[in-house]
Structure 1
Amino acid sequence: MPDDRRSSPLALLVTRNFPPLLGGMEKVNQHLLAALQPTWRTALCGPAGCPEYASPAAEVRQCKVKPLPVFLAVTLWHAVHLAWRRKPEWVIAGSGLTAPIAWLAARCAGGKVAVYLHGLDIVASSRAYQWLWMPFIRRCDLVLVNSTNTARLAQGRGVRSDKLHVLHPGTDLPELDANVAHDFRERHGFGQRPLLLSVGRLTQRKGLAEFVAKALPAIVSRHREALLVVIGDEASDALHTRTGSERERILAAARDAGVEKNLRFLGRCDEATLGAAYQAANLHVFPVLELPGDVEGFGMVALESAAYGLPTVAFAVGGVSDAVREGRTGTLVESGDYGRLGEAVIRQLAQTRDGLATAICRDFAAGKAWPVFGERLRKLLGAPNV
Structure 2
Amino acid sequence: MSRNKADHLWVGQVLPIGTAAWILHKIMGIRYSVFTHGMDIVAPQSNPRKKKLLQMILRSADEVVANSLYTKTELIKLGVSADEIRIIYPGVDPEEFVEPRAEEIAEFCQKYGLEGKRVIAGIGRLVERKGFQFAILALKNVAAKYPNAVLVLGGEGVYGQTLKCCARDQFGDDYSKKIIFCGTLNIRDRACLYSLCEFFVTPSVDLAGDIEGFGMVYLEAAMYGKPSIGGNSGGVPEAVISGETGYIVEGRDISSLSGAMMRLLGDPEEARRMGERARERVMRDFTWEKLMKHHKSQVTNYK
Q: TM-score surpassing 0.5?
A: yes
In 2 relative to 1, CA 215–100 (structure 1 residues): closer, same or farther, beyond 3 Å? same
Question: Aligned pair 1:86/2:4, yes or no?
Answer: yes
In 2 relative to 1, CA 164–222 (structure 1 residues): closer, same or farther, beyond 3 Å? same
Q: Which has the higher helix share?
A: 2
Residue 188 of structure 1: which of 112, 132, 145 is its match? Answer: 112
Q: Determine helix, strand or coil for the equivalent of 2:3.
A: helix
Residue 193 of structure 2: which of 277, 281, 286 is its match? Answer: 277
Pick 1 or 2: higher relative contact order, CA cutoff 8 A, min separation 6. 2
Which residue pairs with 1:328 in the alignment? 244
CA distance in 1, matches of 2:169, 2:230: 23
Shift of 1:374: 2.5
Q: Determine helix, strand or coil for the equivalent of 2:116.
A: coil
Where do 1:206-245 residues align within 5 Å?
A: 206-212=130-136, 214-234=137-157, 245=158
CA distance in 1, matches of 2:128, 2:272: 35
Letter of the 2:288 partner, please give it: W
Q: Which sits farther off after the overlay, 282-291 or 203-212?
A: 203-212
Q: Which sits farther off after the overlay, 278-287 or 107-116?
A: 107-116
Which residue pairs with 2:42 in the alignment? 123
Question: Aligned pair 1:150/2:71, yes or no?
Answer: yes
Partners of 1:88 and 1:109 within 8 A in 2: no
Partners of 1:90 and 1:106 within 8 A in 2: no
Letter of the 1:257 partner, please give it: Q
CA distance in 1, matches of 2:249, 2:235: 13
CA distance in 2, matches of 1:187, 1:252: 23
Count of aligned pairs between the two proteins: 292
Partners of 1:87 and 1:109 within 8 A in 2: no
Q: Determine helix, strand or coil for the equivalent of 1:326.
A: coil
1:288-313 deviation digits (Å, cap 9, x = unpaired): 11112221100110111111111101
Shift of 1:377: 4.3
Residue 380 of structure 1: which of 289, 298, 302 is its match? Answer: 298
Partners of 2:134 and 2:252 within 8 A in 1: no
Which residue pairs with 2:214 in the alignment? 298
Which residue pairs with 1:365 in the alignment? 282
Which residue pairs with 2:32 in the alignment? 113
Partners of 1:210 and 1:253 within 8 A in 2: no
CA distance in 2, matches of 1:204, 1:370: 30
Which residue pairs with 2:170 in the alignment? 257
Which residue pairs with 1:133 in the alignment? 54
In 2 relative to 1, CA 186–172 (structure 1 residues): closer, same or farther, beyond 3 Å? farther
CA distance in 1, matches of 2:251, 2:109: 32
Residue 267 of structure 2: which of 348, 351, 365 is its match? Answer: 351
CA distance in 1, matches of 2:272, 2:265: 16
> What is the aligned-residue identity percentage?
29
Which residue pairs with 1:35 in the alignment? none
Normalised TM-score (structure 2): 0.88
Shift of 1:110: 4.6
Letter of the 1:253 partner, please give it: C
CA distance in 2, matches of 1:277, 1:105: 47
In 2 relative to 1, CA 358–215 (structure 1 residues): closer, same or farther, beyond 3 Å? closer
In 2 relative to 1, CA 185–136 (structure 1 residues): closer, same or farther, beyond 3 Å? same
Shift of 1:356: 4.3
In 2 relative to 1, CA 181–358 (structure 1 residues): closer, same or farther, beyond 3 Å? farther
Residue 123 of structure 2: which of 199, 205, 217 is its match? Answer: 199
CA distance in 2, matches of 1:350, 1:85: 65
CA distance in 1, matches of 2:28, 2:53: 22
The two structures, once aligned, show a CA RMSD in angstroms of 2.3
Give the gaps of 5 or more residues in structure 2: none
Residue 23 of structure 2: which of 95, 104, 108 is its match? Answer: 104
Partners of 1:118 and 1:146 within 8 A in 2: yes
Partners of 1:91 and 1:105 within 8 A in 2: no
Letter of the 1:132 partner, please give it: L
Shift of 1:267: 1.0
In 2 relative to 1, CA 279–90 (structure 1 residues): closer, same or farther, beyond 3 Å? farther
Partners of 2:123 and 2:155 within 8 A in 1: yes
Shift of 1:159: 0.6
CA distance in 2, matches of 1:128, 1:373: 35
